[in-house]
Amino acid sequence: MMEKTNYRRNFLKNLSLGIGSFVMFSGFKLKKEAKVENYPFTGISQGEADEIIKGGKFPGNISIRPEPAPKGSKNI
């Protein structure tokens, strides 16, 4: 007599295999990304930048005629 296939068990087996391999492969990806050479820098938040801008006496005394304004609209 043929054994009845247990679909639920098979599904759960495959699910655990799937999750296992996903974790394994994403681990590889993380390792690869971590290989990108790094260089040190100290970031500044926008709030801090805004404080510097408000208190800063810049740009300096230079005065110069600007080139023509663009025709298009702002993209950012």
Using CB under 8 A as the criterion, which residues of the chain lie in contact with other proteins when the complex forms? 36-37, 39-46, 48-54, 56-60, 62-76
- How far is 33 from 30, CA to CA, in rounded Å? 5
Q: Minimal distance in Å, beta carbon 7 to other proteins?
A: 34
Decide whether 5 or 61 has the Cβ nearer to other proteins. Answer: 61
- How far is 1 from 69, CA to CA, in rounded Å? 85
Count the alpha carbons within 13 Å of 21 in the hemisphere toward its beta carbon: 5
Decide whether 5 or 63 has the Cβ nearer to other proteins. Answer: 63
Decide whether 28 or 39 has the Cβ nearer to other proteins. Answer: 39
